[in-house]
Amino acid sequence: MSEVFYQRLQSLFKGEQIKTEELLARHTSFQIGGPADYFLLPEEENQVAEAIKLCKEEKMPFFILGKGSNLLVSDRGYHGVIIKLAKNFSRIEIEGNKVTAQSGASLSKMAEEIAKRSLTGFEFASGIPGTLGGAVTMNAGAYGGEMKDIICDATVLDTDGRIRFLNKDELRLGYRQSIVQEEKMVVLSVSLLLKEGKEEDIRAAMAELTKKRKEKQPLEYPSAGSTFKRPEGHFAGKLIMDSGLRGYSVGNAEVSEKHCGFVINKGGATALEVYTLIQDVIRIVYEKQGVRLEPEVRLLGEF
C-alpha cells in the first residue's frame, strides 16, 4: 500500500470512515471475500466524488459497494479502494407520493418507511437484500415488479466525475441492465413515484411475498440470491434441476436443494469453490439442455 495515497485519503475521510485491510466477507451476503487494501464509508456526495477523483489521479482501482448482495469477492480480496454506500449513505425523504433516497438505503428499510406512509408499488422490493443504488443499476425485480415501473429519476456520478441528473428514459432500464451499468456510473440518489394505498393492504402484500420467499428460497444459508439470469424462454432453476444438479457441490458451495437457481455457502465455502461450481453448472446445463446460462452474480478480484 502507498503511504502517500493513504495520507491523501485521510484528508477526505476521518476516523471510522476509512479502514485498511478490511475483510470483505463481512460486507457480502455470501459471507465470502478477502481483504480490501482501502475501505471507505462516505456520508456525502462530495466525498464519493472526491474519492473517485483521487483514485483516477493515482490510477488506483476502485469499486462501489452497497450491501454486497449480488457479489462474489475473490479469496485474495481486492487490491484497490472499496467505497461502500450503505447505511452511512441512506437518507430517505417522502413528500406526498414521491420518495427520494440516497443510494445506500436498504430496500427493506425503504419498504417499511413507505408502508408507514400508505404508498403502494414498492412491495416487490421489500425482500430484496440490497440497496437502492444496486437495485437501479441492475433494474432489480421480483414477483412481477421492477425498478423501472416506479422510478422517476436518478442523480449519478459519471466517469468524468460529473454529477448528472437522469430521467427515467435516460436511465435506459431493461432486464437486469441500465445505462448506469453500461457506462460504469455511480448512483448517488433516486426518486420514485408511487401511488396511494392502504397500509394494511400494503403490509399484507409484503407479508405474502415474504412467505413465498421463505417457502421457495434457501434464506437460511448465505448466498447472492438468484445466481443466474433468466434465459429467454426458460427458467434457470428448472434447467439446472433437469440437468441433475440439485444438491451438486464443490467443497462447501452447493446448488440449493430447495431452489436450484441459488448457489449457497453451506459454511466456510471459498470464492474459488463458488466460482468453480458456477462454471460447472454453466458447462453441464449447456451440454444437457443446449442453453448457456449467464451469471447474475458479479465477480470482484482475481479468479
Q: Which residues are catalytic?
A: 176, 226, 296
45-57 and 3-10 helices cross at what angle (nearest 10)? 160
Q: CA-to-CA distance for 101 and 124, rounded, in angstroms?
A: 17
Q: Angle at Cα 261 formed by Cα 259 and Cα 267, nearest 5°?
A: 70
> Cα dist. 236→5, 68, 190, 239, 294 in Å?
44, 22, 30, 5, 9
The length of the chain is 303
182, three cell numbers = 453500461
Provide the CB-side half-sphere exposure for 273 (13 A, CA). 19
Q: CA-to-CA distance for 119 and 110, rounded, in angstroms?
A: 11
DSSP assignment letter at 233: T
Q: CA-to-CA distance for 227 and 214, rounded, in angstroms?
A: 17
> Cα dist. 125→107, 121, 177 in Å?
6, 9, 17
Q: Is 1 exposed, middle or buried (0-12, 13-18, 19+ CB in 10 A)?
A: exposed
Provide the CB-side half-sphere exposure for 54 (13 A, CA). 22
290, three cell numbers = 443446449
Three-state DSSP at 244 gives coil
Residue written as cell 460504469?
184
Query: Which residue(s) pair with 254 in the sheet?
Result: 249, 264
Q: CA-to-CA distance for 247 and 4, rounded, in angstroms?
A: 49
